[in-house]
Amino acid sequence: MFPTDSSSPLSDSEAESEASTSVAQPPALSVGFVLLRRFTLLPFAAFVDCLRLASDEGDRSRQLRCRWRFLTADGEDAPSSCGAVISPCEPFATPFCDPRQFDYLVVIGGVLDGSPTDDPAASEYLRQAARLGVPLVGVCTGVLSLIQAGVMAERRCCVSWYHHADLVRRFPQVNAVADRLYVDDGDRLTCAGGAAAADLAAYLVERHLGRAWARKSLNIMLLDGHRGGEHGQPQPVVFERIEDRIVRRAVTILEQHLGEVISVDELADRVGASRRGLERKFQDSFGIGPQKFARDLRLRYGLWLLYFTEHSITDIGERCGFADTAHFSRHFRAAYGQSPSQLRRDPKGREEAGVDPFFLHIGTRLDPA
């Protein structure tokens, strides 16, 4: 049941009479979506659907309280990374797309497949918006476009753990974080992408329309409440920039398969190295072999899950690729000096022990960028 305050959704009968007066009034929230080459569909859909459901009663989709437009450099249709195409789109140059028409410009980035990510037309449009004081939102790899446009100087930005290493390699001067869902830095907002885009959209809906409208959108989307920007991302990340290309690829594979055990032979084959060569490279980089590195990485994932989720210890062990709870607990105690159940029961104890979920305890510590 929604609260019955001035910002609460109306009944259908009330909505009918309200609609006749609302249509002529400017919306409370206006958003322009800058869709880049091969943009990722889920964060775009999550964001715009949150606006759509907050804009009108039920599922009617009228642009009453919220308005949105889809923008591309030339107004051509925008193909997403999965092949779905968004239409109609409007060109940046049209008066309807003057940045001042929007409360926010939301940049939805595309896949990083080795192709150039710089879009000169989009960069100039974003710089124009920044000069006019229009807040800019970078979603998923859209944050890279904000950086390339030169509008993120001395700003902190949020990026997915999956793209963090790539971003800091390309832009080492940028203060990028991968331990939260989104960052609100005033007139620059950045989001890790994926389903977190719905959380950021709900945050903006609540700001402009009220909490009840944000809750209404998330409820209809079957999302269990609004997660704040400080909420941790559901995967940890190795923050250190790894110089060796082969080791970097191997660590990326391990990060993406935290729930399974990958043998050293299989890992070596996937990165195009011999087993002995890969072991030597890991020793040079970390002082330990790839097998121990992988196990400690999975244990660190278990530590993260203990901190930020309510999953049972048995479930956490399975999610981290351990055969049974006893196996997981034994290795966990060896790594952190406490059993998983002790750590969960005594948060003060884990702080006194110096256990930090954002560090890898694998001999050579990897410090955040």
- Per-residue pLDDT for 187 more than 60? yes
Q: Are residues 253 and 211 in the same domain?
A: no
Domain that holds residue 278: 245-352
- Per-residue pLDDT for 305 more than 70? yes
Q: Are residues 85 and 24 in the same domain?
A: yes
- Per-residue pLDDT for 89 more than 90? yes
Q: What pLDDT sits at residue 237?
A: 58
- Per-residue pLDDT for 8 more than 80? no
Q: Are residues 86 and 200 in the same domain?
A: yes
Q: Looking at the domain assignment, is residue 240 inside a domain?
A: no
Q: What pLDDT sits at residue 209?
A: 96
Q: What pLDDT sits at residue 35?
A: 97
- Per-residue pLDDT for 306 more than 70? yes
Q: Are residues 168 and 257 in the same domain?
A: no
Q: Are residues 127 and 208 in the same domain?
A: yes
Q: Are residues 16 and 133 in the same domain?
A: yes
Q: What pLDDT sits at residue 178?
A: 82
CB–CB of 363/235 below 8 Å?
Answer: no
Q: Looking at the domain assignment, is residue 23 inside a domain?
A: yes
Q: What is the count of structural domains for the chain?
A: 2
Q: Looking at the domain assignment, is residue 172 inside a domain?
A: yes
pLDDT per residue over 332-361, tens digit each?
999 888 899 988 877 665 555 555 544 443
pLDDT tier for residue 118 given thresholds of 50, 70 and 90: confident
Q: Say which residue the tokens 């195409």 belong to.
A: 85
CB–CB of 159/166 below 8 Å?
Answer: no
pLDDT per residue over 257-284, tens digit each?
888 899 999 999 999 999 999 999 999 9
pLDDT tier for residue 301 given thresholds of 50, 70 and 90: confident
Q: What pLDDT sits at residue 355?
A: 53
User: CA 31, CA 27: separation in Å to the nearest integer?
Assistant: 10
pLDDT tier for residue 18 given thresholds of 50, 70 and 90: very low
Q: Are residues 132 and 41 in the same domain?
A: yes
pLDDT tier for residue 198 given thresholds of 50, 70 and 90: very high
- Per-residue pLDDT for 48 more than 60? yes
Q: Looking at the domain assignment, is residue 230 inside a domain?
A: no
CATH number at residue 191: 3.40.50.880
Q: How far apart, in Å, are the Cα atoms of 288 and each of 47, 238, 278, 359, 364?
A: 43, 15, 11, 16, 8
DSSP 76: -
As a whole-number percent, the residues of the chain with pLDDT over 90 amount to 60
